[in-house]
A and B are shown apart, each in its own frame.
Chain A
Amino acid sequence: MNYLSWLDYGFMKNAIIAILIITPLFGIIGTMIVNKKMAFFSDALGHSALTGIAVGVVCGIKDTTISMLIFAIVFALLLNKISKKSTASKDTIISVFSSCSVAIGLAILSKGGNFSEYSSLLVGDVLSITRKEIVYLVMIFVATIIFWIFAFNQLNAVAIHKTLAKSKNMKVEILENLFAVFVALIVTVSIKWVGILIINALLILPAASSRNLAENVREYHLFAVIISVFSGVLGLWVSYYTNVATGPMIVIIASVIYFATYFVGGRE
């Protein structure tokens, strides 16, 4: 049996390229999402993708990726702003926003009874990825890495103590908004092939597993990236031979790794 025969197909090549580009980003950005306890926030962003597509359909935009991107960015910034201003707790606000936007999205997309057209969004389909989408992924990959190199220290400082960061002249609000925008970008470009239901798991699991093993920020990043890429590649490979959707398979593998690290590294 030839274990590389699957790479003969063009769509599989695209899929593996996409996975190799995006999974390191999941690992990297996930470390900060977990540190900042923003898991619920990124989950809501994933859900907003439905509304983004609905808005695109209503406005007659052909490329729904664009409308999804714009909507997710607006959604993220708005969420950031309101949860800061409001007296209600952050998770309540996020929950309100998230369910509201999902409802609007579902309402619009289900009009006329053809929601099934969009139901592939829920579980995703990595094999449908096109050359053009890979170009998007590369652009976002480069942008995120640059952002991370220049802003990570400050993001970390803000996450640890806002007032202390402010006293060192860091632009707390700009940093937090930029971070939210990058999470929105990464979530939206991956949503079509990972699926709305499980995209958040890919952001959280590698970082959460890495936390069980790492002693410092460098190890935290390294392990998260390795775990993320490994789950992605193995998930694609296994899904090819078992004929299971790739997104869920990746998440299952990442979960198994999480539990393994939990028992190996569960010192505390």
Chain B
Amino acid sequence: MQKIIKPCGLHCIKVKHLGVQFGEQKVLDNINLHMHCGSLTAIIGKNGAGKSTLIRAILGDIPHTGTIEFRDTKDGKMQKLKIGYVPQSINIEKNTPISVYDLIASYQTKFPIFWHKKRTVYERIKRALKVFEADKLIDQRVCNLSGGQLQRVLLSMAIMDEPNLLLLDEPVSGIDQNGMELFFETMDYLKKHYDLAIVLISHDLDYVAKYADHVALVDKTIVKQGTVKEVYESKEYEEIFGKDSEEAWIDVEEDKLQEEVRKTSDIAKKFGVKEE
């Protein structure tokens, strides 16, 4: 487990001219992004804007153009970038006999997990889980965890390798308000006490406003980036979120209303309510 150290602020990850193409279609184009240790960068944008693709490109999961550099700005030396990744969800069905220990150990050790539970590995995983108050979950089945619990487990795993960069892909889905608050507080704690940069895809603009140091608004490329204030007050933000999001909200309300009306008339038909 990583020792708690103050972020030095000298490590810098630079994404330069990153582009991704699926066949003929350009999904991302000319992405430039700087991330410093001890800072939380939030990536926002609409569905299909390429946020998840950006994360996958940085991870090296899909081919991309451009470069990703990791430097110590103090002596300018290039280093190998270690990335911790927290995915949106994992493929574990209900009723799957995989415990939290099994999940983490499959990624962290070579010793066959089907043979027996290795004491040293068990202790190591437990220590990592403890950072996020999830050590009691170690023997539980992963499929029975709540959204918030699973997220803490995945975070523990991501931190185990002492990454320089922590990538989180929409991790707040399926979590209640309390859980969200806790999650963002944990992020805040991490960036202040660990030597790493955090990049987070988020849909919750209010929490981003409260916690992010740097915001990047993505729509195929980064249309606007800067501090929360700079981005939220920009015309690009207005174009993407401003009116649309309000309209979407109204749509939902209207749908609900119509649904209600339809239901009532259905019932009326069934039972033949007398009109007064």
Real complex partners, A and B? Answer: yes
Residue of chain B at shortest CB distance from A163: B61
Collect the chain A residues with CB atoms within 8 Å of residue B116's CB.
218
Separation in Å of the A51 CB from the closest CB of chain B?
Answer: 31
Residue of chain A at shortest CB distance from B103: A160
Collect the chain B residues with CB atoms within 8 Å of residue A268's CB.
94-95
Instruction: Report whether A153 and B112 are in contact in the complex, using a CB–CB cutoff of 8 Å.
Output: yes
Separation in Å of the A211 CB from the closest CB of chain B?
Answer: 6
Binary contact track A163-179/B, C-beta < 8 Å → 1, others 0: 11111100000000000
Collect the chain A residues with CB atoms within 8 Å of residue B4's CB.
none
Give the complex CA separation of A152 and B105 in angstroms.
11
Instruction: Report whether A163 and B85 are in contact in the complex, using a CB–CB cutoff of 8 Å.
Output: yes
Collect the chain A residues with CB atoms within 8 Å of residue B101's CB.
216
Contact of A152 among B98, B114, B117 (CB under 8 A): B114
Give the complex CA separation of A268 and B95 in angstroms.
8
Binary contact track B72-103/A, C-beta < 8 Å → 1, others 0: 00000000000101010011111111110111
Residue of chain A at shortest CB distance from B99: A216
Separation in Å of the B49 CB from the closest CB of chain A?
Answer: 19
Collect the chain B residues with CB atoms within 8 Å of residue A162's CB.
61
Collect the chain A residues with CB atoms within 8 Å of residue B111's CB.
153
Binary contact track A203-232/B, C-beta < 8 Å → 1, others 0: 000000011101111111100000000000
Give the complex CA separation of A218 and B92 in angstroms.
17
Contact of B98 among A156, A163, A164 (CB under 8 A): A156
Q: Confirm or deny: B107 has a beta carbon within 8 angstroms of a beta carbon on chain A.
A: yes
Instruction: Report whether B83 and A218 are in contact in the complex, using a CB–CB cutoff of 8 Å.
Output: no
Instruction: Report whether A160 and B113 are in contact in the complex, using a CB–CB cutoff of 8 Å.
Output: no
Q: Confirm or deny: A157 has a beta carbon within 8 angstroms of a beta carbon on chain B.
A: yes
Instruction: Report whether A217 and B91 are in contact in the complex, using a CB–CB cutoff of 8 Å.
Output: no
Q: How large is the interface on B (under 10, 10 to 19, 20 to 34, 35 or more residues)?
A: 20 to 34
Interface centre among A148, A152, A156 (most CB of B within 10 A): A156
Tally of chain A residues near chain B (CB < 8 A):
32
Instruction: Report whether A156 and B102 are in contact in the complex, using a CB–CB cutoff of 8 Å.
Output: yes
Q: Confirm or deny: A62 has a beta carbon within 8 angstroms of a beta carbon on chain B.
A: no
Give the complex CA separation of A150 and B102 in angstroms.
15
Q: Confirm or deny: A17 has a beta carbon within 8 angstroms of a beta carbon on chain B.
A: no
Instruction: Report whether A152 and B90 are in contact in the complex, using a CB–CB cutoff of 8 Å.
Output: no
Question: Which residues in window 148-188 of B have CB below 8 A to A?
Answer: none
Separation in Å of the A139 CB from the closest CB of chain B?
Answer: 21
Q: Confirm or deny: A95 has a beta carbon within 8 angstroms of a beta carbon on chain B.
A: no
Collect the chain B residues with CB atoms within 8 Å of residue A166's CB.
59-61
Contact of B59 among A156, A167, A212 (CB under 8 A): A167
Q: Confirm or deny: A132 has a beta carbon within 8 angstroms of a beta carbon on chain B.
A: no
Collect the chain A residues with CB atoms within 8 Å of residue B59's CB.
163, 166-167
Q: Confirm or deny: B56 has a beta carbon within 8 angstroms of a beta carbon on chain A.
A: yes
Contact of A149 among B91, B92, B112 (CB under 8 A): B112
Interface centre among A35, A160, A167, A210 (most CB of B within 10 A): A167
Q: Confirm or deny: A111 has a beta carbon within 8 angstroms of a beta carbon on chain B.
A: no
Collect the chain A residues with CB atoms within 8 Å of residue B60's CB.
166-167
Q: Confirm or deny: B64 has a beta carbon within 8 angstroms of a beta carbon on chain A.
A: no
Contact of B85 among A154, A167, A214, A218 (CB under 8 A): A167
Separation in Å of the A90 CB from the closest CB of chain B?
Answer: 13
Instruction: Report whether A217 and B98 are in contact in the complex, using a CB–CB cutoff of 8 Å.
Output: yes
Give the complex CA separation of A148 and B113 in angstroms.
10
Collect the chain A residues with CB atoms within 8 Å of residue B110's CB.
150, 153
Give the complex CA separation of A219 and B96 in angstroms.
11
Contact of B97 among A152, A168, A211 (CB under 8 A): A211
Q: Confirm or deny: A159 has a beta carbon within 8 angstroms of a beta carbon on chain B.
A: yes
Residue of chain A at shortest CB distance from B157: A164
Collect the chain A residues with CB atoms within 8 Å of residue B107's CB.
153, 157, 164-165, 168
- Give 12 A-B pairs besides A161-B87, A164-B107, A216-B99 with Cβ atoms closer than 8 angstroms: A150-B110, A153-B107, A156-B106, A164-B90, A166-B60, A166-B61, A167-B83, A211-B95, A215-B141, A217-B97, A217-B99, A218-B117
Q: Which 3 A-B pairs have the closest CB atoms?
A: A214-B97, A216-B99, A220-B97
Chain B residues packing against A (C-beta within 8 Å): 56, 59-61, 83, 85, 87, 90-99, 101-103, 105-107, 109-117, 139, 141
9 contacts across the A-B interface (CB closer than 8 A): A148-B114, A150-B112, A153-B110, A156-B102, A160-B98, A163-B59, A166-B60, A210-B97, A217-B113
Chain A residues packing against B (C-beta within 8 Å): 35, 37, 148-150, 152-154, 156-157, 159-168, 210-212, 214-221, 268
